[in-house]
Amino acid sequence: MSTPPALRPPEGPAYARVVGVGGYRPSRVVPNEEIARRIDSSDRWIRDRSGIAERRWATEEESVALMGAAAAEKALAHAGVTADRIGCVLVATSTHFRQLPALAADIAHRVGTTQAAAFDLSAACAGFTHALAVAHDMVRGGSAGHVLVVATERMSDLIDHDDRATAFLFGDGAGAVVVGPCATPAMGPVVWGSDGSQGGAIDQSASWLDLRDGVPERFPALTMQGQTVFRWAVYEMARVARRALEDAGVDAADLDAFIPHQANLRIVDALATALRLPAQVAVARDIVHTGNTSAASIPLAIENMLAGGTVRSGGLALTIGFGAGLSYAAQVITLP
C-alpha cells in the first residue's frame, strides 16, 4: 500500500490577543426594593448577602440575540475590525431556550459576517472564559483570523422569582470581545477544569423534557446551594487564580486589574484578599449595579472599567470564570 501524501497543517500567528470589547445593558433598572417586596426581604438584607444594589432585567424585546449582537457590534467597532474579517463566532450562554439552531449563527448573521463558523458553548457562568481560551487557540492554530466571542444572558428567565435564595442575585446583559493576531505574547495559558461530583451545587429544578408530560407544574428554574458554592469559589478558585498567574509568568503586583466572574461581592472581595493583591490593582465590582449576569459578567466588567478609566488599554488583567458544573477557567490577558 502506498504511503498517503503528507497533509498541509494549518498555520497561524505566533500570538493572539483581545483587540476589542463591547457590552449591552438592558434599559430596565430593577432596584432591591422591587425584589424585596416579593420575597419578604429588604434592601439591606440583599446588600449584606450579595453586595448588589440593583440589576438590569431585559424587556420582552431585548432577546439574547439582540443583546448579543449589540455587544458584538460595539466590540467590532472598538477593535476596528469589520464583520467580514471574522472567521468564527463563539457564543456563551445558558439562557437560549431553543436547542437549535445555534444562537451563534443568528448573531453572526445580525452583525454581518459572511461565511464565519458559528457555534454555541455552554459552561454556565464560566462560559466566557472557556470561549476566550478556545478563541485564543483558534487564532494561534490558524482556524480563524479573528474570532468574535459573545456572552449573552437573560437570567431573569431562568430564576424562580419567589426563591429567597436566588431571586435577587441575577441580572441580564451581554458582553463581547474580538480576539485577533498580534506580534508579542498577550494572553497567558488557560487554567481550566471541572468537578462534576459537585454538579448539584448549581442545578436546574427540572428537565425541559418534564414539561412535555406536564411535570413539573412550574417552569424549570435555577437552584443553588449558596454556602457550598461560596466555599468552593473562595478556596478552590484562589488556587486556580494563583496557577494562572504562575503559568503566565507574572506576579500579582504586575497586574493592572483582577476581573473575576461577578457572582457575589463577598466572593469577589474574599478572592482579592486571598490573592493578596496590591492596593494599586483594580478589582472589578460591577456586580453592585449589574447583578450576576452569568457568562456576560466578565466582558461587561472589562468594558465598564476601560470606559471609566479604572484600567488602561495594554494593562494586564487576571480573569477567572466559575460556575455550574462545577466548572472554571482562568487566564491572564492584556486589556484591549
Q: Which residues pair with 20 in a beta bridge?
A: 178
Q: Compute the distance between CA of residue 133 and CA of residue 331 in angstroms, rounded to an integer.
A: 8
Could you say which of 88, 125, 130, 146 is catalytic? 125
- Are 107 and 209 in a shared domain? no
- Are 44 and 151 in a shared domain? yes
- Are 178 and 306 in a shared domain? no
Q: Which residues pair with 28 in a beta bridge?
A: 57
- N- to C-terminal Cα separation, the chain: 53
Out of 130, 164, 182, pick the residue that ends a domain. Answer: 182
The pLDDT tens digits of the residues spanning 232-290 come to 999 999 999 999 999 999 999 999 999 999 999 999 999 999 999 999 999 999 999 99
- Are 233 and 173 in a shared domain? no
The pLDDT tens digits of the residues spanning 181-229 come to 999 999 999 999 999 999 999 999 988 888 887 777 778 999 999 999 9
Give the position of cell 445555534.
102
Please tell me the predicted confidence (pLDDT) of residue 209.
Answer: 86
CA proximity to 71, closest of 146, 148, 176, 179: 176
Task: Give the Å distances, CA to CA, from 147 to 21, 194, 314.
Answer: 12, 25, 19
DSSP characters over 123-174 = -GGGHHHHHHHHHHHHHHHTS-SSEEEEEEEEGGGTS-TT-TTTTTTB-EEE
216 CB-near residues (< 8 Å, 6+ apart): 205, 206, 210
**How many domains is the chain built from?**
2
Would residue 125 show up in a list of annotated catalytic residues for this protein? yes
Out of 182, 213, 238, pick the residue that ends a domain. Answer: 182
3 CB-near residues (< 8 Å, 6+ apart): none
> How sure is the predictor about 1, in pLDDT bands with cuts at 50, 70 and 90?
low
Tell me, what amino acid is at 153? E
Out of 127, 157, 182, pick the residue that ends a domain. Answer: 182
> How sure is the predictor about 318, in pLDDT bands with cuts at 50, 70 and 90?
very high
Mean pLDDT of all residues in 302-323: 98
Mean pLDDT of all residues in 8-18: 93
Q: Compute the distance between CA of residue 189 and CA of residue 333 in angstroms, rounded to an integer.
A: 9
- Are 173 and 209 in a shared domain? no
Computed over every residue of the chain, the mean pLDDT equals 97
- Are 148 and 198 in a shared domain? no
Mean pLDDT of all residues in 113-136: 98
- Are 58 and 176 in a shared domain? yes
Q: Compute the distance between CA of residue 251 and CA of residue 294 in angstroms, rounded to an integer.
A: 27
Q: Compute the distance between CA of residue 289 and CA of residue 269 in angstroms, rounded to an integer.
A: 16
All three cell numbers of 120, joined, read 454555541
Residues 148, 315, 290: CA angle, nearest 5 degrees: 60
DSSP 5: P
Q: Compute the distance between CA of residue 286 and CA of residue 265 in angstroms, rounded to an integer.
A: 9
- Are 130 and 245 in a shared domain? no
Would residue 261 show up in a list of annotated catalytic residues for this protein? yes
Mean pLDDT of all residues in 301-309: 98
Query: Is residue 318 a part of any domain in this protein?
Result: yes
The pLDDT tens digits of the residues spanning 72-122 come to 999 999 999 999 999 999 999 999 999 899 999 999 999 999 899 999 999
Q: Compute the distance between CA of residue 290 and CA of residue 172 in angstroms, rounded to an integer.
A: 8
- Are 53 and 114 in a shared domain? yes
- Are 31 and 102 in a shared domain? yes
Q: Which residues pair with 102 in a beta bridge?
A: none
Query: Is residue 4 a part of any domain in this protein?
Result: no
Q: Compute the distance between CA of residue 191 and CA of residue 91 in angstroms, rounded to an integer.
A: 20
Q: Compute the distance between CA of residue 111 and CA of residue 118 in angstroms, rounded to an integer.
A: 12
Query: Is residue 9 a part of any domain in this protein?
Result: no
Please tell me the predicted confidence (pLDDT) of residue 324.
Answer: 96
Could you say which of 78, 96, 136, 292 is catalytic? 292
The parent domain of residue 287 ranges over: 191-334
Query: Is residue 95 a part of any domain in this protein?
Result: yes
- Are 167 and 34 in a shared domain? yes
- Cβ atoms of 300 and 22 within 8 Å: the answer is no
Residue 41 has pLDDT above 80, yes or no: yes
Give the position of cell 496590591.
278
CATH at 176: 3.40.47.10
Mean pLDDT of all residues in 10-31: 97
The pLDDT tens digits of the residues spanning 75-85 come to 999 999 999 99
3-class secondary structure, 303: helix
